[in-house]
A and B are shown apart, each in its own frame.
Chain A
């Protein structure tokens, strides 16, 4: 069974640009969540989708957005990039509706560098 796949794995952007990251969950998983990982802040929750609906959103500015498609694949977008957006963006999928009955499976991440 294929794991969570994230693309692209690495990308370099300049300030002011926008970026779209993609996540394909494990087959059958309907929940997809996104986390930002930085050395100083650890793993910060961005948002979570279940059956195309955003159920939770973290404390990030409106420049961070996402969506989920009917096949459960998800994308996140960051507009007007800032230097501080440089981070590893991790996607995670889960089979269950809530964590009381299922675990998160992480992808390898998309490493974004903003120059």
Chain B
């Protein structure tokens, strides 16, 4: 089955700096890659996603890049702010037959220091 590795497990950045989280996946059939943000004590919420026919996607201060050949994708957060402090999860999902199943990475705890 699919396996998703996520690095780093913790990331501390100064406010205003950039943060980058990287994930690799094992199943070459995976074609949907979402990122979820989970604030302390809250539910995970989708912040951005990318499909395999796209190499990069941006939404204000966040962007995701996908390299299908290397089977890795990354989340980039620019101009970090204290409210970006949270745990971020990458995930992968396969072909339609997989339904609504996501395989998650282990998570990255991001701390933005003011």
B48 to chain A, nearest CB (A): 10
* B102 adjacent to A104 (CB under 8 Å): yes
Please report the number of residue pairs spanning A and B whose Cβ atoms sit closer than 8 angstroms.
Answer: 79
Interface residues on A, range: 20 to 34
B100 contacts the other chain (Cβ, under 8 Å)?
yes
- Whole-angstrom CA separation of A96 from B100 in the bound complex: 8
* A48 adjacent to B44 (CB under 8 Å): no
The verdict on A45 contacting B101 (CB below 8 Å), with A100-B31, A100-B32 known, is yes
Binding site for A on B (CB under 8 A): 1, 31-32, 34, 36, 42-46, 49, 51, 89, 91, 93, 96, 98-107
12 CB < 8 A contacts A-B? A42-B89, A42-B107, A43-B89, A45-B102, A48-B99, A50-B100, A98-B96, A98-B98, A98-B100, A99-B101, A100-B51, A106-B43
